[in-house]
Amino acid sequence: GLDTIGLDTINRGCLILKPRQPFIDWLNQTDSDEPIHLKEAREDVTAFLIPDFDSNEEADLFVKNNYLSFFEQILEDWITDENIWPKDRTRTKFEQWFDIQIHSMVVDTVDKKIVKEKN
């Protein structure tokens, strides 16, 4: 059980972006041999560690100010050819294409150093 592992809160928040149907529609219009379905696209999504903010408003502002980095990372996860990406990568489109979830408490259950790999 959990009592046998470390449960340390870390000084990070977590951002999870789950695709919405407009993103899936765009994805399926690009170069997809087999259609992607919304349900499967929402199952295993990238979780982003973000700074630990004092308020939800600060976290929301951070995501709004940095939306393009998150947007482009998700596009790259699905399609590596940037020429295929939509040219209008606006914050409005980002908010239409993804459900934005911010979690303020992140608990590390592993008692080992975090290893970072540069992209």
Which has the higher per-residue pLDDT, 119 or 21? 21
CB atoms within 10 A of CB 74: 18
Q: How far apart are the first and last CA of the chain?
A: 34
- pLDDT, one tens digit per residue, over 24-57 is 999 999 866 789 999 999 999 999 999 999 999 9
